[in-house]
Amino acid sequence: MTGKSPVLLVTGGSRGIGAAVSIAAARQGWAVAVNYASNKVAAETVVAAIRDGGGEAIAVAGDVGVADDIQAIFSVVDQHFGRLDGLVNNAGIVDLPQRVDEMTPERLERMFRINITGSILCAGQAVRRMSTRHGGKGGAIVNISSMAAVLGSAGQYVDYAASKGAIDTFTIGLAREVVTEGIRVNAVRPGVIDTDIHASGGLPDRARDLGPTIPMQRAGTPDEIADAVLYLVGPQASYITGSILNVSGGR
Ligand code: NDP
């Protein structure tokens, strides 16, 4: 079916920043495809919150580190909504803190496959659907980078930082590639945001510990990132493409 609401796909929409983006998007009138990798319960909780608020959403399983899964995610969006107007490339991982001389090829392959290859492949699928070159009506893509892209995460996650640096470069290149096809491409660089990712990165108290070192003296919230993402993906940013917005409390 083809609904009236614009449709937004949020990768990694089940928790943290992606969940906040999904819920905020629904409040602004988007129908939302909430992608998740393994946490179906969390994704369904986000979908239920959206529906309780009168919005439209579905949960869509799929690992953005697996090319076939990406095809399947977009097929579900096609079948359910029949249109796509925006993509938030949010799904991303960190790994345990390590120095570069401890990092294995397996760690690096997984990091880059999920954080950058997955984002590029998802963008490709979105462009096929949204580009006026392919008969689409245009749209917007927002990539989630990180302040790590410019700060480097020395001694902990230089691989993660490099994957986010690649997100920045990809954002600039893709914005230019599709600028005449009705598609805007921007990125948000979150600073330290209080989510589960720090526990999966082996530093569960990172947001609390780093808070006092941030110019604004605190970690950010997922909602504060969602506000920036929704601005960039929405019509108020109609003249913005190729931009990367720091949302980092001054960090
Ligand atoms: P969380 O760990 O809290 O949530 C990660 C989300 O991504 C979950 O919904 C998870 O799904 C999903 N996900 C993980 N791997 C995959 C995958 N392979 N395929 C599909 N979905 C996947 O992370 P955050 O909300 O903190 O981070 C979101 C983005 O923001 C990431 O790109 C991260 O790098 C970036 N960021 C975060 C910062 C922070 O301080 N929190 C700072 C800077 C950038 P499931 O629930 O199924 O596991």
Q: Which residue has the tokens 């939302």?
A: 32
Q: Is residue 192 part of a domain?
A: yes
Determine the average pLDDT of the residues in 20-26: 98
Least Cα distance to 245 among 231, 27, 17 occurs for 231
Atom number of ligand 1 nearest to Cα 114: 18
2 assigned to some structural domain: no
Domain that holds residue 99: 7-247
Residue 212 lies in a domain: yes
Ligand 1, atom 44, lies closest to the CA of 146
Ligand 1 nearest-atom number relative to CA 64: 19
Confidence check: pLDDT of 85 > 80? yes
In a domain, 1, yes or no: no
> What is the pLDDT confidence band of residue 2, given thresholds at 50, 70 and 90?
low
The ipTM estimated for the assembled molecules is: 0.99
Spatial distance between the Cα atoms of 58 and 9, rounded to a whole number of angstroms: 10
CATH of the domain at 205: 3.40.50.720
Mutation to probe ligand 1, out of 34, 45, 195, 198 (largest number of atoms < 8 A from CB): 195
pTM of the complete model: 0.98
Beta bridge partners of 140: 86, 184
Question: How much distance in Å is there from the Cα of 249 to the middle of ligand 1?
Answer: 20
Q: Is residue 1's pLDDT more than 60? A: no
Q: Domain tally for the chain?
A: 1
Contact 182, 138 (CB under 8 A): yes
Task: Please indicate, yes or no, if residue 206 is contained in any of the structural domains.
Answer: yes
Q: What whole-number distance in Å separates Cα of residue 181 and Cα of residue 120?
A: 17
Rg (CA), the chain: 17
- Average pLDDT, rounded, for the chain: 97
Residue 112 lies in a domain: yes
59/33 Cα distance (integer angstroms): 6
Asked whether residue 202 carries a pLDDT value surpassing 70, the answer given is yes
Name residue 214's amino acid.
I
Mean pLDDT for 130-134 is 97
Catalytic residue ranges: 160
- Using the atom order of ligand 1, give the atom closest to the CA of residue 94: 34
Partners of 61 in the β-ladder = 36
pLDDT value for 139? 98
- DSSP H/E element including 185: strand 183-190
Task: Assess whether pLDDT exceeds 90 at residue 229.
Answer: yes
Mean pLDDT value of segment 161-171: 98
For a pocket test of ligand 1, which of 10, 11, 15, 171 has the largest count of ligand atoms closer than 8 A to its C-beta? Answer: 15
Probe residue for ligand 1, chosen from 17, 203, 213 as the CB with the greatest number of ligand atoms within 8 Å: 17
pLDDT higher than 90, residue 3: no
In a domain, 118, yes or no: yes
Q: Classify residue 205: in a domain, yes or no.
A: yes
Mean pLDDT of 192-212: 95
Proportion of the chain above pLDDT 70, given as a percent: 99
* Cβ atoms of 155 and 99 closer than 8 Å: yes
**From ligand 1's centre to the CA of 83, what distance in Å?**
25
Closest atom of ligand 1 relative to the 92 alpha carbon: 32
- Which residues have C-beta atoms less than 6 Å from ligand 1? 11-12, 14-18, 35-39, 42, 63-65, 90-93, 114, 144, 146, 190, 192-193, 195-197, 200
> Once rounded to an integer, what is the mean pLDDT over residues 70-80?
98
Q: How many residues are there in the chain?
A: 251
Quick check: 180 and 137 in contact, CB under 8 A?
A: no
- Measured by CA distance, the residue closest to atom 41 of ligand 1 is 193
Task: Give distance in angstroms: CA of 133 to centre of ligand 1.
Answer: 31
